[in-house]
Structure 1
């Protein structure tokens, strides 16, 4: 799995202008099963996405589709980890 930390590098006005397109992108990734959690940081200087386990090249291709990435509005820090414990009733999704 991956934790993707987004740090805004663009002005908030630029982020806001791209936000609707970014949200559509997120929805496509949730629908595809690639992302399981996403949201803005507090304070609002970036965001966090949790992605399922997949090849890193595939994740990089997915991130390249983000309007924030295409407009160079964020810096991404990607942390890969192996989830070994879950709360009862939770399941680890994985892309085929």
Structure 2
């Protein structure tokens, strides 16, 4: 699994302009089964995405984000093995 930390590189007015396209991109990534959870950081300096699958697929997906295409965000990806999960999240546990 992966934790992706997005950090905005532009003013929030530019982020807001790209937000609708970014949300459509997020929806597509959820539909493809890549993303598990996502949301904005507090304070609003970027966002967090929890993803699963292969790193190559994740990298290609991140490159397609309207924020990435506009140079509006940078992405820090941390891979980890989910050995333990909360009740109800067993399908995310990895060997």
Considering the TM-score relative to the shorter chain, is it more than 0.5?
yes
Measured after TM superposition, the shift of residue 55 of structure 1 is 2.3
Task: Provide the aligned C-alpha RMSD in A.
Answer: 1.4
Deviation at 1:93, TM superposition (A): 7.9
Residue in structure 1 matched with residue 31 of structure 2 by the alignment: 31
TM-score by length of 2: 0.93
Task: Report how many aligned residue pairs link the two structures.
Answer: 93
**Pair 1:64-2:63 in alignment:** yes
Cα distance in 2 for partners of 1:22, 1:86 equals 29
Structure 2 gap ranges (5+)? none
Gap runs ≥5 in structure 1: none
1:4-15 alignment, distance < 5 Å:
4-15=4-15
Q: CA deviation at 1:44?
A: 0.4
- TM-score between both structures, scaled by the size of structure 1: 0.92
Shift of 1:88: 1.5
Show structure 1 runs of 4+ deviating over 6 A: none
| Counterparts of 1:81 and 1:35, CA distance in 2 | 15
In 1, the alpha carbon distance for the partners of 2:71 and 2:79 equals 22
